[in-house]
Amino acid sequence: MHKPNRIWNIFSKTMIGFSLLFFYLPIVYIIVFSFNGKRSLSELDGFSLQWYEKMFADPIMMDSVVVTILIAVLATIISTLLGTITAIGLSKCGKSFRNAVERVNELPVMNPDIVTGISLLMLFSALAVSKGFVTMLLAHIMFCTPFVILSIMPKLRTLDPNLTDAALDLGCTPFQAMFKVIVPQIRPAIFTGALIAFTMSFDDFVISYFVTGDGVQNISILVYTMSKRVDPSINALSTLVILIITVALLIVNIVPHFLHRKKTPLETK
Amino acid sequence: MKLKINPFFFMTGPYLIWITAMIVIPMLLIVLYAFTIEGNDVATIQFSLDNFVRFVTDKTFLFVVGKSLWIAFLTTIICIILGYPIAYIISKSRGRQSLILILLLTLPTWINMLVRTYAWMGILQEGGVLSNLLEMIGIPGVSLLYTDFAVALGMVYNFLPFMVLQIHTSLAKMDNSLLEAASDLGANKVQSFLRVTLPLSMPGVVSGITLVFLPAVSSFFIPKLLGGGQYVLVGNVIENQFITAGKWNFGSAISLIMAIIIIFSMWLTRKIEVQPRKEEN
């Protein structure tokens, strides 16, 4: 029994080692080359911050960072509010109605992003809305809200309906019952939903690409249009993206510890 | 007397209006465009199957569809071959260790897919990290960028974590006493893996397949970045029809076919996933 175990040990360590190398190689690559002293994506030559200087001096790059963050924050707030209210409302509605709404709600999740993107492109064109910041924001709310609802619904099913009924009997309006009784119980799920919404919005390329216009670009669109040129300031921008997401994940995973919660959002995803 | 209207129903009102405007109507627009031909006015609208006829008769499009399916199939197979052992190893490691491994595996997926795909361009290009490595072991001057290999690699890189997570979830749910029972009944390790572990992890593999195959079929920036401008998959055709060619009707028809196939197969895998659970209860 001893020998196969050792072989298994070596095999599993190499396998995990190689897969971690595979997953982190591009990320390390981006960060390392963003400090490159040379205009090259393959040869390293000294350390410099010139690509960061270039990035911060480039109004197009800075605009894309502002657009990405602004849209992600707004889309997260709006879709979390909309999703929470809808999920709570749905949980108290009849089964067939709830199922019907859930089916439609799942469409943007199941549909390929490219189909969602062109469907919104056609909607905005049919309404003769000029494409830009607002259409991108609307699109982001559209694909973020289903994820918020999907992360809250399972938690709502586990709640004791008597608590809400008691609150209503004691004279609460449904809105009071929602904020005083239901929301405190599902706060971790709302938190998870908001985190998923934020990263979904922050990272989105495909849908944004189809619904934007008027020169409004988020970081992904900018990287896509710039990818044919050798420009290491894209690496600086990408490093900034990695930094923002890492900080967001850290905050989200550390904050619950202070609030004495057992599960972190990352585990529940 | 109290009116018996559920007050919570009104809370769903805003979202009902929202999904009608932003999900239902846009999808109907795709259907409308797919079944009409260009230059139609609302007054003189004419339905036709021309777009679909063109899709199934045009050899170049059939070739593109075939290529997309092939690359997606290849990606899925590689993801199963790599993903299953990884998920199995994680599920066999101790509690805290497996938690950390899962965390390490999911961390990169939170970072922008486009940014991570862009990084591979630098790694794969001539004179890049990988070709330098190949040169060191005696294979000089290989440019891996803009090849089938690069596209498949980009897809495996982006979608492998989904496969690992799905398989790991079904392996972690497995009752270990089943393995003990198998060994008590005289099965060796290989037998109990083949007869117990493998069948019980199949639902994870199946949902992993949908999470890999479907995005792989519809992906358009991975082939564009890693396959080059000449590399065309279904997603690129749709992008071209809408962004450069302006043929919305034909683009809608392709999108509609793709959406139906994908939603149908998702629905099918859910059926497969739900069935064994029902039997358990």
User: Could you tell me the pLDDT band of residue B30, with boundaries at 50, 70 and 90?
Assistant: very high
User: Hey, what CATH topology would domain B56-234 get?
Assistant: MetI-like fold (1.10.3720)
CA-to-CA distance for B105 and B163, rounded, in angstroms? 11
Q: State mean pLDDT over A50-70.
A: 93
pLDDT over 60 (residue A268)? no
Q: Look up tokens 């969602």; give the residue.
A: A116
Residue-wise pLDDT for A111-168, tens only, equals 889 999 999 999 999 998 899 999 999 999 999 999 999 999 999 988 888 888 888 8
pLDDT over 70 (residue A2)? no
CA-to-CA distance for A237 and A199, rounded, in angstroms? 17
The alpha-carbon radius of gyration of chain B (Å, integer) is: 24
For B22, nearest residue in chain A (alpha carbons): A142
Chain A residues near residue B90 by CB distance under 8 angstroms: 16
Q: Are B239 and B68 in contact (CB under 8 A)?
A: no
Chain A residues near residue B262 by CB distance under 8 angstroms: 110-112
The distance from CA A135 to its chain's CA centroid, rounded to whole angstroms, is 18
Q: Are B43 and B242 in contact (CB under 8 A)?
A: no
pLDDT over 80 (residue A233)? yes
The full DSSP string for B26-83 is: HHHHHHHHHTB-TT--STT--B--HHHHHHHH-HHHHHHHHHHHHHHHHHHHHHHHHH
Contact B23 A203 (CB under 8 A): no
Instruction: List Cβ neighbours of B76 (8 Å cut-off, separation of 6 or more).
Output: B209, B212, B213, B216
CA nearest to B265, candidates B205, B199, B213, B219:
B213
The distance from CA A256 to its chain's CA centroid, rounded to whole angstroms, is 19
Q: Is A264 on the interface with B (CB under 8 A)?
A: no
CA-to-CA distance for A101 and B88, rounded, in angstroms? 37
Contact B14 A85 (CB under 8 A): yes
CB atoms inside a 10 Å sphere around CB B79: 26
CA-to-CA distance for A219 and A204, rounded, in angstroms? 9
Q: How many CB pairs under 8 A join A and B?
A: 209
Q: Is B24 on the interface with A (CB under 8 A)?
A: yes
Chain B residues near residue A20 by CB distance under 8 angstroms: 104
User: Could you tell me the pLDDT band of residue B281, with boundaries at 50, 70 and 90?
Assistant: very low
pLDDT over 50 (residue A264)? no
| Distance to chain B for A91, nearest Cα, Å | 9
CB atoms inside a 10 Å sphere around CB A254: 10
Q: State mean pLDDT over A79-88.
A: 94
From A30-39, A194-203, B17-26, B137-146, the region with the lowest mean pLDDT: B137-146
| Distance to chain A for B225, nearest Cα, Å | 7
CA nearest to A211, candidates A147, A97, A135:
A135
Name the CATH code of domain A64-268 (choices 2.60.40.1180, 1.10.1240.10, 1.10.3720.10, 3.40.50.300): 1.10.3720.10
Residue-wise pLDDT for A9-27, tens only, equals 899 999 999 999 999 999 9
Q: Are A101 and B16 in contact (CB under 8 A)?
A: yes
What is the residue extent of each domain of chain B? 56-234
Q: Look up tokens 């205009």; give the residue.
A: A39
Contact B119 A29 (CB under 8 A): yes
Q: What is the DSSP letter of A58?
A: -
Q: Are B15 and A86 in contact (CB under 8 A)?
A: yes
Q: Look up tokens 């390390």; give the residue.
A: A28
What is the residue extent of each domain of chain A? 64-268
Which two tokens mark A111?
Answer: 């549909």
Q: Look up tokens 């999900």; give the residue.
A: B23
Chain A residues near residue B238 by CB distance under 8 angstroms: 114, 118
Exposed (0-12), middle (13-18) or buried (19+): which is B212, by Cβ within 10 Å? Answer: buried
Chain A residues near residue B114 by CB distance under 8 angstroms: 203, 205, 220, 223-224
